[in-house]
Structure 1
Amino acid sequence: MNVNSVSNVTEEILSAILKCIDEAIHVVNTDGITIFYNEVAAKHDGLEIKEVVGKPLLSVFPSLNEQSSTLLKVIDTKKPIYNETQSFVNLHGRKIETINTTLPIIVQGELIGAVEIAKDYTRIKQLSERLVEVQKSLTHRSGKAVKQQAAYTFVDLLTSNQHFSLIKKKAEKLAKSDSPILVYGESGTGKELFVQSIHNASKRATGPFIAQNCAAIPENLLESILFGTSRGSYTGAVDRPGLFELANGGTLFLDELNSMPFDLQAKLLRVLEDGAVRRVGSTNVISVNVRVISAMNVYPGEAMDQNQLRTDLFYRLNVLTFELIPLRQRKEDILFLSGLFISQYNEKLGKQVTGLDDDVKEIFLSHQWPGNVRELKHTIEYMMNVCEGRLLTEYDLPVMMKNIKPSIESKRSSFVLREHLKEVEVQLINDALKAADGNVQKAAMLLDIPRQTLQYKIKKLNL
């Protein structure tokens, strides 16, 4: 095989690889002529590949120019651009929103072109902006702020667990404060319901309640959604208030805070410190009166160790902190909530189920419930739909729940009290240390034992 044949095969292999990649890829030469454009890019831009390849970039995307095109900027500066927002109109008049990473292509020290990897978030941006507009219209209807979304109160937080009851009482008392609140707990423990209850028990109950999941929106878009945009801040940008402005006089709930990028966390910290926001692309500062409540599904210490949460932001948010303990640590609530959910679905489905049989009770109490209350509710919902009798039985269990029964029976092989007491003691101490973020003094207070006793047990049990 000669050199030209090898070169042709290599180009074919490279082209095939680029076509298989599930990202939009656009390559231009130093004259701004497109030399490669894959099918994903064509789908994003609403074009055919043949409409783009071999043509000048600006003739295909007439709304761009040498300053606003990330590809042409890289050709001009020979410097890479990472995660930059670009808004443009294609040849057919369709508006496209992308986040681009654009890199210079340098061979043997010479620039031969630029490659762009783009993520299309047009639809996400449209939906997010529509949400902001809806919230804006609700907030300012008839010139008054109206309550949004916060449907739950502490009355809806039902429990028979003493520890959780104390958390509720503490939250009701501290709801009157305007200090930031941090709520953490596993997925499914009811963090948003808890936060809505705090809002409705606060002095801001008549103000707006706006919730935003930080993991659901791309980084560049999240900033504009939170802080708003100023006309001209980027191509296609318009004057639009962010969620902080829309939540003025009320509560802004930021869920999965640990998913927020570090630089955006720094801007959030600034807003908490100053009580003012600055829209993206603007130099004007807008004062806001907003209570921020944040939530995470991991322990704050763990989030900081994994560089998911800024230390300075944590200490600013850590004024008032609540941990919602998992369902497996409040066993009495498993059967208590099961009864409540059965009653709810009896009413919805027109049934007269009276409860769980003994085998199902045993399975429920032995299950770890990784999805917590949400998992329990969905399990009951499934069983209520398929059951035919007056009691929910093993036959009605979801497949995954049926598979755990053998492990339950195997636990019955040991009846040695000392072993089981040790297991319970280790579990309680570990839970207390976690709740106290490793502080032995606080953990000892939770366990209601002297600090010296706890230190002795930690050493003895190798914890």
Structure 2
Amino acid sequence: MNHEELIEVLSQYGLGAMLISEDNTILSINMTGDRLLHGNGKLTGNSVPEFALPLCEQKDDSIYINIKFGEYLLRQPSPQNISLPEHTRLIVFRDGTNDYQLEMMTSVIDQIKEGIVMCDSDSRLSFFNNPAVRLDSLVAENVLGECVNDVYTMNGEENCALPETLQKRRPILNHRHRYTTKYGKQVDAVADTHPVIKDGQVLGAFNIVEDWSTVNDLHKQIIDLREKLLHYTSGNNKTKSVLSARYTFDDIIFVSSPMRTVINQCRQVAKTDSSVMIYGETGTGKELFAQSIHNASNRSDGPFLAINCAALPENLLESLLFGSVKGAYTGAENRPGFFEQANHGTLLLDEINSMNISLQAKLLRVLQDGIIRRIGGSTEIKVDVRVLSCINIPPHQAIAENKLRQDLFYRLGVININIPPLRERKEDIALLATHFMMSFNSKLLKCVKGIDPITLEIFNTYSWPGNVRELQHAMEHAVIMLPEDQCLITSEYIPQNLLTEEDISSLSAAAAEPEPSHSLHNKLQDIERNTLCQILMENEGNISKSAQVLKMSRQNLQYRIKRYKIDIKDFRN
């Protein structure tokens, strides 16, 4: 076999190979090598790209080459006893991204404090990190490949979590483990156990284990600190109120420029005591912004209270805001209102445009004077409260419709913040959807890995009248409805109203037709399958090249080929 034939054979085995001269000019390169170096067929006759020059070093040891963010090449030993033209060298390399990531992840896993124990789909132990070795006092090489139940004996009636997770295909969280190893070491630990599922196949499972004695000591410290805090609170009224805001600006998920602008405005506003009116459509997260403003302000140690003006009748809302004295009305008690409870802190008035106009006049007087009087009382009480308000229609529209007093708007809207709707910041949709997916994975004990591109395209073209809250509910629906043997969210598992912006009833009628192929969902599937077949045909069944054209991972494309029962051999010569 000559060197040209060898180069092509190496390509068939997923290895890049190039013949280079002494001055690092590429004399010949195979198809795999050209793809790995992003050459687009233009490398032959040109110098080796600067980023790939380390591949040309005079050694056959494996070295990682960082060619671009997230992509690595791995130098491979060159075949021996192959006749090459004089003054040339054969450089062999392959995609080393997965190897690099594995090396990085192994190093990280060895440095964390929790023990990690992995097993394969047959419950055979396959990996221990250093903390797990220390916890169990095991020499990993002595037990790798053995069945979990042969190495660990549970000291109670419970089953070992790793095989149980494999069987049930669901995580087991915060589980107490008391076991004895095959070498007699008794261990008391707490663990989270997760299955690893890909394309519906269970590949294995892993434990994240922490020594219970360490956890117990920490609990004791927490109890001690709690007692000290209670003692401190009883002697100092300036401790942080239990009426506190949960969220900060760091909790807001975004990548879009409009959201960055709004958050920068809010951070600036938070430094002052000025009143702020936050306008945004339903579901945009107005209270999230209000809480973040409070937590970034010099009032963050004070209380944060929120009241929804649309949820309460006028008389009850008035008593909640200003308080009452006993006997003021039937059932009235001496009770402080929200203004008193929020003293030295922040009060959020949500949906302020739903408050009765007469009550708005009373509110205006409090904002002007900083003095409240409980219902039925005669004593004036001085309060120091920063007022934030939220409104779900444009403020000037609310004024024109007599839903908001103009003078109250000028008092509450010293600063006006407009939160853009989700349809105006579509760059955030994929990030938010992924965030909700991971959140519901944890909450619902699911193992969903991602969202397919067709579904993301549906998300990007939908108008989202319910904004972020609607997206959150859509992702919860999808995670719940996704079958256990599937790990990728596809369009059939999202709420069906997302598939059309025109007429929900027409979708229902289409779904009721006897021929299922007429449904919108099946038409989308047909389009996706035809597109895949076309790209595979153009690339002669080459999965790597087809995945590049489709801008998806090989694994994602292979999943779809399997899903649509496409025979890849039909596209290969």
Name the TM-score, length of structure 2 as normaliser: 0.45
Contact 2:270/2:294 (CA < 8 Å) preserved in 1?
A: yes
Aligned to 2:354: 259
1:331 to 426, 451, 455: 426
Q: Say yes or no: does 1:381 pair with 2:476.
A: yes
Contact 1:229/1:242 (CA < 8 Å) preserved in 2?
A: yes
- What amino acid does structure 1 have at the position aligned with 2:430? L
Q: Say yes or no: does 1:399 pair with 2:496.
A: yes
Partners of 1:390 and 1:237 in 2: CA distance = 56
Contact 1:147/1:206 (CA < 8 Å) preserved in 2?
A: no
- What amino acid does structure 2 have at the position aligned with 1:155? D
Contact 1:147/1:205 (CA < 8 Å) preserved in 2?
A: no
Q: Say yes or no: does 1:197 pair with 2:292.
A: yes
Give the superposition deviation at 1:317: 1.3
Q: Say yes or no: does 1:277 pair with 2:375.
A: no
- What amino acid does structure 2 have at the position aligned with 1:364? F
Q: Aligned Cα RMSD in Å? A: 2.1
Structure-2 change in CA distance of 1:208 and 1:141 (3 Å)? farther
Structure-2 change in CA distance of 1:200 and 1:328 (3 Å)? same
Q: Which of the pair has the greater relative contact order for Cα pairs under 8 Å at 6+ separation? A: 1
Aligned to 2:192: none
Partners of 1:141 and 1:225 in 2: CA distance = 26
Structure-2 change in CA distance of 1:325 and 1:141 (3 Å)? farther
Higher Cα radius of gyration = 2
Q: Map residues 427-442 of structure 1 onto 2, 5 A cutoff.
A: none
Q: Say yes or no: does 1:180 pair with 2:275.
A: yes
- What amino acid does structure 1 have at the position aligned with 2:383? V
Give the superposition deviation at 1:349: 3.4
- Give the SS at the match of 1:197: helix
- Give the SS at the match of 2:335: coil
- What amino acid does structure 2 have at the position aligned with 1:214? C
Partners of 2:426 and 2:390 in 1: CA distance = 24
Residues 113-132 of structure 1 show CA distances to partners (whole Å, capped at 9, x for unaligned) of xxxxxxxxxxxxxxxxxxxx
Aligned to 1:62: none
Partners of 1:141 and 1:261 in 2: CA distance = 40
Structure-2 change in CA distance of 1:181 and 1:141 (3 Å)? farther
Give the superposition deviation at 1:263: 1.0
Give the superposition deviation at 1:234: 2.6
Aligned to 1:44: none
1:221 to 310, 316, 320: 316
Contact 1:150/1:199 (CA < 8 Å) preserved in 2?
A: yes
Aligned to 2:444: 349
Aligned to 1:303: 398
2:256 to 156, 161, 166: 161
Partners of 1:221 and 1:309 in 2: CA distance = 19
Partners of 2:273 and 2:451 in 1: CA distance = 44
Which is worse superposed, 390-399 or 196-205? 390-399
Aligned to 1:122: none
Aligned to 2:302: 207
Contact 2:325/2:375 (CA < 8 Å) preserved in 1?
A: yes
- Give the SS at the match of 1:212: strand
2:417 to 322, 329, 332: 322
Partners of 1:351 and 1:296 in 2: CA distance = 36
Partners of 2:234 and 2:289 in 1: CA distance = 27
Structure-2 change in CA distance of 1:221 and 1:347 (3 Å)? closer
Residues 312-353 of structure 1 show CA distances to partners (whole Å, capped at 9, x for unaligned) of 000111211101110001011111211211222233334333
Partners of 1:149 and 1:246 in 2: CA distance = 12
Contact 2:282/2:466 (CA < 8 Å) preserved in 1?
A: yes
Partners of 1:347 and 1:228 in 2: CA distance = 41
Partners of 1:321 and 1:165 in 2: CA distance = 16
Q: Say yes or no: does 1:150 pair with 2:245.
A: yes
Partners of 1:302 and 1:152 in 2: CA distance = 30
Partners of 2:500 and 2:413 in 1: CA distance = 41
- What amino acid does structure 2 have at the position aligned with 1:163? P
Contact 1:327/1:372 (CA < 8 Å) preserved in 2?
A: yes
- Give the SS at the match of 1:363: helix
- What amino acid does structure 1 have at the position aligned with 2:405? R
Structure-2 change in CA distance of 1:391 and 1:268 (3 Å)? same
Give the superposition deviation at 1:363: 1.0
Partners of 1:265 and 1:212 in 2: CA distance = 14
Q: Map residues 26-65 of structure 1 onto 2, 5 A cutoff.
A: none
Residues 361-419 of structure 1 show CA distances to partners (whole Å, capped at 9, x for unaligned) of 12111111011001001101110111132211111112322455859x99xxxxxxxxx
Partners of 1:365 and 1:332 in 2: CA distance = 9
Structure-2 change in CA distance of 1:348 and 1:221 (3 Å)? closer
Q: Say yes or no: does 1:238 pair with 2:330.
A: no
Partners of 1:325 and 1:141 in 2: CA distance = 44
Contact 1:189/1:324 (CA < 8 Å) preserved in 2?
A: yes
Partners of 1:343 and 1:160 in 2: CA distance = 18
Aligned to 1:250: 345
Partners of 1:395 and 1:236 in 2: CA distance = 54
Q: Map residues 6-25 of structure 1 onto 2, 5 A cutoff.
A: none
- What amino acid does structure 2 have at the position aligned with 1:291? R
- Give the SS at the match of 1:325: coil
Contact 2:244/2:302 (CA < 8 Å) preserved in 1?
A: no
For structure 1, the residue ranges without an aligned partner over 5 or more in a row are 1-139, 411-463
Partners of 2:295 and 2:450 in 1: CA distance = 33
Partners of 1:191 and 1:294 in 2: CA distance = 9
